[in-house]
Structure 1
Amino acid sequence: MRCIIPKQMDIVQEGQKGSFGCYCLLHKKLLAMKKVKELGYTKKSYLQITNLLLDSDAKKLYSLIDTSVAINIIRDPISVLRTMVTLPNFSDKFSIDDDEGRGTGLFLSDEPKAIFSKNPIHYGGILDKNGKKKARISPELNAIPGWLEDREQVFHDGILYDYFKDNIKELYIKQTSDFAGGRGFHAMSELASILDFDEPDEKDRWLFEKHVGEMKNLLPITLYANEKDELFSNEIKTNRNDKNFNKNSAKIVLCTRFNESNRLKPERDISELFSLPDPLLRVFVDKPSDAVKLLRSPDLLKKAQLYIEKLSCEVLQKASKLEANRKLFNENDILEYFQGHEKERKLAATLIKEHIKYQKQKAPDIVNCFKYYKEFEKICFELDGTKL
């Protein structure tokens, strides 16, 4: 059961922004996890720090986090950049009602095939001539400068070590490759013995061999299922912002089995009512009353089943295209870019040196195996006389 420090760019409510807002948000989530543990749904919870806060209260925030036992999952920095350049984002989040009660998801009348054209996947990091970020519909190498300037997400492990080093008593360093290509089953078995959580079950080994990155970027999506809607008609019978219409709709969430609802709200899983094309997919209701609405109306349930089945196939098809986009550039393309861009090369050298300074000390054998980082080291020395 995990709790993630969120990206500040994804936070809508002002009260949740910054270190203080992040602390309040994490505290609320951890309390929810405590309740889930008490109910017996999960055995352990952990805080995953994937994004960095750098405001005036950051030091205070990180001092309040228990890092006595910590895992640092590391990767070749050039591979990290390659991933960021080819990392897709959804332009619109299909969430449950916003603060004013308006529906921000899909309706039965919406054609699933059109969902990703109306709300296209985009790739961030591109800077315009004024230094502002612009979205692109396909990966581009000139996104590299934008990612180098995004300290919230990229190359900040050194800073986090500075915050945590006096409190860490047990530190385990793993590589991302330890969890890929089916190796995750063994890695989690190893960590289970160290951190005292249940070892993965042999019958679930297939799950550790699945790649879910692209699908994760497309989900969750909320469906407002209302009897007044004609299936796939593209004509909604009432205003999408009608609070009563949304209130009377059954709110259904298509997500992956890794969505936090699987632990926080397992009783709301209605997947067995649907024909799903991939075992990683799950269907949840927002509230128990939404399940009642479906079960009381066989016609509405049938519409919802047909819609979710078609939507699921569109998600899988789009995920396949995103996976192909990930292969448009590789680490050698990143290295070639740095050879021809002096300013960005020098900035990357400074950031990466700070990023892995402690990793070099604590796991030199792993860092020495970073093939592309070693090539980057050579480029920096040959072109700039810089030693990393």
Structure 2
Amino acid sequence: NLIEEWLLSNDFNEKYKKENHPYPSLLDPKKLNDEKEEINYKTIPAELAWEMNLPLPDNYEFVFLLIHGAGTTAMTRYLRLCNISLNRHWGDPVFQYLDSYRMLIKKSNYNVIILAGCLSKANFNLGIKFYNLIQKKIPAICVVRDPISVLRPIVNHYGNLQHPKDKIQSQIDIEKYPVQDNFKIQVPYAYPDQNGNPTLNTVKEYADDKYGDFYILSVKIKELKHRIQKLYYLDMNSILPENSFETLLNLSKIFHFTVPKSSELFFSKANSSDNHVDYLFFPKKLYLRYNNEDISLEIIKQKIVSSEYLDYTKYFTNSPFLIQEIGIKIILHKKYLQYFRSGIVYEKFSSYLHDYLFYLEQFYNKERKKIINEQEILDFMKSNPEVLKKYKLKLDKELVHIKEHRPDIVASWKYYQEFEKMCEELD
């Protein structure tokens, strides 16, 4: 009866029928957002809501138009530091809707909807439906990056089904566990060649949409154009660790969320190309059995250390690479200080750490040599004109909006400008 009443109403005619909306809601969204109504969002399961084309509950403040390879991990981390709830940005569009729906019925939270950066051919129409079920008029943000630089973290992407997480030891008995065994793990690149290393062939595979279409920003903007009040573009540089706190502070004034008082929380290596190596090796607790107690040192990567710990880094390494560039700290809990003063424990840790840190630095340098950079990506495109043409078609369509509204950002993209010159030469 409620469905029939709604479909025959003037409101339905104005909101959906007149504009020939592709996914008309089968119930009145205004009543659904009112918890005093007998049937409202909280009484309807998310799965049924999707089938009935119900727009998402309007308990969200803005949307985040995600571009893979443009600081997704860092930006989502920063937003969560500001006590913002986000839906998960992976999975098919139905999953994203269901996850968003369940998040939004919790009225007390400050919520933001993330729109994932990829759609498969099979899920494309489901994606269009998901976008059309975001019907509240709200602003949006989008972190953008030089499109050629976007390909760099994708080509070098970390994580696959053969993830070695279960083989990674976070606690190591230095009396029993040889140093070399820590470094026998192969980094699990997502798109490896036959030797397990990153490959430029991934550039071609992304041009052919082998893993889905990653150039859908223009699609999201088109589908949401009548709901997005304003799209705020953030250049990737603005969310680098040294700039991130100020950027979030400025955003908080626009979107009215709360930023933590300490800027230290925003200093992170999240954007580092070595972040996958970080995951394998930090944090690590090295311990030995002494006087019936496990005495431990911890190797970490964080700027702030609890007052219960002492920074012992300088006693074990003076490597500028490890200390300044990688940012490691070797810390000791104060309760173990008495054992280190005896000298025996210190000597054992010193011997083990000397070798451990030597191999760690070697491992980093070995992995860095595998990383494919922007110039290599451009050279690959130049040598494969068909690949270059495919990216030209994609980017011409993808960048229409930002070229119109933020030409200054586009002009700052060094590698994209080189890409455009290559395309002109090809013509």
Q: Name the TM tier (shorter chain).
A: 0.5 to 0.7
2:147 aligned to 74, 77, 90, which one?
77
1:204 aligned to 264, 268, 276, which one?
264
Q: 1:174 to 1:155 in 2, by over 3 A?
A: same
Q: Which amino acid aligns with 1:324?
A: R
The answer to which of 52-61 and 189-198 deviates more is: 52-61
Q: 1:109 to 1:368 in 2, by over 3 A?
A: closer
Q: 1:64 to 1:378 in 2, by over 3 A?
A: same
In structure 2, runs of 5+ residues without a counterpart are 1-79, 282-286, 289-299, 314-325, 330-348
Distance between the aligned counterparts of 2:328 and 2:101, measured in 1? 29
Distance between the aligned counterparts of 1:45 and 1:313, measured in 2? 43
Aligned Cα RMSD in Å? Answer: 5.0
Distance between the aligned counterparts of 1:173 and 1:334, measured in 2? 25
Q: 1:185 to 1:325 in 2, by over 3 A?
A: farther
Q: Is the 8 A contact 1:338 1:345 kept in 2?
A: yes
Distance between the aligned counterparts of 1:198 and 1:172, measured in 2? 18
How far did 1:321 drift?
A: 5.0
CA deviation profile, 1:175-226 (whole Å, cap 9, x unmatched): 11111150112111111111112234245277257756644676599xxxxx
Q: Which amino acid aligns with 1:59?
A: I
In structure 1, runs of 5+ residues without a counterpart are 9-17, 96-102, 127-133, 222-230, 233-254, 258-269, 282-305
Q: Does 1:169 align with 2:229?
A: yes
Aligned to 2:203: 144
Distance between the aligned counterparts of 2:181 and 2:213, measured in 1? 31
- Counterparts in 2 of 1:96-107, with a 5 A limit? none
- Counterparts in 2 of 1:1-388, with a 5 A limit? 1=80, 2-8=85-91, 18-28=92-102, 30=103, 34=106, 38=108, 44-54=110-120, 55=123, 56-65=125-134, 68-93=138-163, 114=181, 117=184, 120-125=186-191, 137-150=196-209, 152=212, 154-202=214-262, 204=264, 207=267, 214-215=274-275, 219=279, 320-321=364-365, 324-325=368-369, 328-383=371-426, 385=427
How far did 1:342 drift?
A: 1.1
Q: 1:181 to 1:320 in 2, by over 3 A?
A: farther
Aligned to 1:290: none
How far did 1:322 drift?
A: 8.1
Q: Which amino acid aligns with 1:83?
A: P
CA deviation profile, 1:257-280 (whole Å, cap 9, x unmatched): 9xxxxxxxxxxxx9x899999999
Q: Is the 8 A contact 2:93 2:126 kept in 1?
A: yes
Distance between the aligned counterparts of 1:173 and 1:203, measured in 2? 22
Q: 1:219 to 1:158 in 2, by over 3 A?
A: same
Could you state the TM-score of these two structures normalised by the residue count of structure 2? 0.53
Distance between the aligned counterparts of 1:68 and 1:135, measured in 2? 47
How far did 1:114 drift?
A: 4.5
Q: 1:275 to 1:334 in 2, by over 3 A?
A: same
Percent identical residues: 21
Q: Is the 8 A contact 2:191 2:199 kept in 1?
A: no
For these two proteins, the number of residue pairs brought into alignment is 295
How far did 1:142 drift?
A: 2.5
Distance between the aligned counterparts of 2:376 and 2:168, measured in 1? 38
Asked which structure has the greater CA Rg, the reply is 2
Could you state the TM-score of these two structures normalised by the residue count of structure 1? 0.58
How far did 1:82 drift?
A: 2.2
Distance between the aligned counterparts of 1:23 and 1:315, measured in 2? 46
How far did 1:21 drift?
A: 2.9
Q: Which amino acid aligns with 1:122?
A: P
Distance between the aligned counterparts of 1:338 and 1:115, measured in 2? 38
